[in-house]
Chain A
């Protein structure tokens, strides 16, 4: 019988440039060093079973990451945390672990929103934010693979606020839609505001209740 653990973790400045897949590999290695009996997938090339709620973009720090992890043999969450904590590289912090029933849908399927705090620079942040909130749309052009695509970012923005922290500097907080119905990217929102992001930090992931 495998056991499903839901773990919460933070990623700090030290390793904010580590790409998602590399971070996952670092997790696998830390878990192996800690002697955690990970469950493996079946098939031609078995790999440890885990699934994150939402990949963290390169350059972004977070205090709100979540991941499902399956173990071959059950462990108590405190025991798990104790053993893993000392095997984590600088910048990776395990905040907690809890058992989760197999019947719960994957975290990624339950994800609804994500909140960010961005240190930003640029002219009149508060004014730009007020304009965006009042507008019906926030057009964004993006080039991908040589193709120009137009998006409307406005429906992805649930909440947006700017607090000036100095001349032409502000702390922008935002709650963006995330998950199966579309995901807002903080970098794009800040760029669409005409601001430059100096640091982006994820503060919260909002999930739908497991039963719904």
Chain B
């Protein structure tokens, strides 16, 4: 049975048929002549994967490397998966429509813990044995990178090696090493020595009687005791020929990353730790990239991506120049700071439709915001709201979290008060809407809150907010999804059996609430004899070995602990970009930081 017999019967069939503008398609000669054939595998739907800038960058990097061919595939949606299994059609690449197992390397992008069952599902649909140890050199090498790779212990059963940190250079080192054609074990031993590569099978994990990790140590003398995150000092030129999808992507627009890293130091934020330090792109490079990118794609929207766009030092001249050059271009600035400067920026880019702006105060009270080091005052927020509404925007969206460490009832009440204050500002400008999204805090590895237990039950807080904000449009995260995320985000290797058990019971697309199967997960936990609360809700001991301690992000555990202690005292820590260096540990990895430490 062929693809053509299936596609008329699935939703959005163009997700599976390639021919997008700018995709790199090679002839059969090039397939045969390529030393390394690399398949990027995104463990979520096409629309999500196509919105990922990191993947665009790496697709570009690998396809420019001589002798390397890189193609893409995404998780087949459930209807497509069923048809493929029925027809015996294995997972295939979009570009040349070849089975995944004909590739040399399968590279997963791990951006979200709730994608893990899709990784297993893709391996299975591809016809690969699930477990790393069952695959020798006759099978593709299965690797994974992305933010979650920094604590992907729960996936170590299935993944041969992890790429830690920025992969732009380490992927090239990897494919070059792969070309030697060594047997799998020998290749892995060689790969383990590449900066930014972690080969889990070379590390032994011991647990104590209570199930906590007791020690992680390498089996071999030639692998690093703590594999470290790779950092590129100088950002490569942005990809200016990204694949332009037919099927509308979640973020269907051109993207340029203005800078990597953010040192504001929000204590809940994993990205703020693991992408340190900040590295900016020069203004003229951004402008040149924008010109080429728009000419090559035809997009009418450009996102200036960074963890905090208003902090890019040339943001104002950049925005002014872009809007002057491209009067019809929509420039989007994700993650705006809460201040009137950001509103001015937004004003410059949204000349026409001022529909809504989004801000994230994260917590309701100033005290709790100091606890999480999101140093925004109520005055800042109200002034920002004033600026937003007075300049004609019709709506403000606010993001909050509940269940934050040290949260008291009055902090939840403060959310209600704050929303109402913003609404009051809105009323002075006529019919203006204020909506709020309230998610449950998920403690993450490698952050100052990595020791904190997740609050087991936030339902009473949710009920309180619902009752007191009746006339406000509220969005909620799925409670089971936050709990599962909390488990997987700080999991150990024993969770491999749970992920597999849940997947066998039908779990996939866990990030999509309509597909999430709590029962499948609960049964899988029970079968493995493990307890969700142990991972999600337990506060770790100060001296406990954490399952990800052996992964060196460059940020020291001492610094994280110090930050945790400061949070307990509701003490804020200033951004090292403007204030003093706070000695996070990056000095050992990054020359510019070392210099600052020295002075």
Contact = CB atoms under 8 A, between A and B. Distances in A.
A30 B248 CA distance: 15
Nearest to A35: B295
Contacts of B297: 29, 33
Given A22-B247, A90-B19, A28 B14 contact: no
A29 B244 contact: yes
B21 A25 contact: no
A26 B353 contact: no
Contacts of A23: 246
Interface in B11-54: 12-14, 16-17, 19-21
Interface stretch (A12-20, A93-101, A152-160): A12-20
A26 B21 CA distance: 9
A18 B7 CA distance: 11
A29 B328 contact: no
A46 B329 CA distance: 11
Contacts of B328: 40, 46
A188 B72 CA distance: 35
A31 B353 CA distance: 23
A45 B353 CA distance: 6
Contacts of A87: 298
B246 A15 contact: yes
Interface centre among B14, B294, B297, B299 (most CB of A within 10 A): B14
B410 interface: no
Interface residues of A, number: 25
Contacts of B296: 33
Nearest to B353: A45
A198 B38 CA distance: 34
A201 B248 CA distance: 25
A68 to B, nearest CB: 20
A59 interface: yes
B65 interface: no
Contacts of A31: 298
Contacts of A58: 8, 13
Interface string B258-280: 00000000000000000000000
A90 B20 CA distance: 8
Nearest to A92: B19
Contact of B14 (A22, A29, A45): A22
B460 interface: no
B595 interface: no
Interface residues of B, number: 24
Interface string A34-57: 000000100011100000000000
A19 B14 contact: yes
Nearest to B9: A59
Given A15-B14, A18-B14, A91 B298 contact: no
A87 B298 CA distance: 10
A142 to B, nearest CB: 17
A89 B298 contact: no
Contacts of A40: 328
A32 interface: yes
A29 B21 contact: yes
A91 B25 CA distance: 14
A91 B23 CA distance: 14
A93 to B, nearest CB: 13
Contacts of A44: 352-353
A203 to B, nearest CB: 20
A15 B23 CA distance: 14
A30 B299 CA distance: 9
B206 interface: no
Interface string B233-272: 0000000000010111000000000000000000000000
A25 B19 contact: no
B300 interface: yes
Nearest to A58: B13
Given A45-B352, A59-B13, A89 B19 contact: yes
B571 to A, nearest CB: 46
B352 A32 contact: no
Interface in B294-342: 294-300, 328
A28 B298 contact: yes
Contacts of B12: 19
B6 to A, nearest CB: 11
Contacts of B21: 26, 29-30, 89
A28 B294 CA distance: 13
A44 B246 CA distance: 25
Contacts of A89: 19-21, 246
B332 to A, nearest CB: 14
Given A28-B300, A31-B298, A17 B353 contact: no
A44 B328 CA distance: 13
A59 B13 CA distance: 9
Listed from nearest, the 5 A-B pairs whose CB atoms lie closest are A29-B298, A32-B298, A17-B13, A33-B298, A17-B14
Interface of B: 7-8, 12-14, 16-17, 19-21, 244, 246-248, 294-300, 328, 352-353
Given A22-B248, A33-B296, A59-B7, 18 more contacts: A17-B13, A18-B14, A18-B246, A19-B247, A22-B14, A26-B21, A26-B246, A28-B300, A29-B297, A29-B299, A30-B298, A31-B298, A32-B294, A33-B295, A33-B297, A58-B8, A89-B20, A91-B19
14 contacts: A15-B246, A17-B7, A17-B16, A17-B17, A19-B12, A22-B14, A25-B248, A29-B244, A29-B298, A29-B299, A32-B300, A33-B296, A46-B328, A59-B8
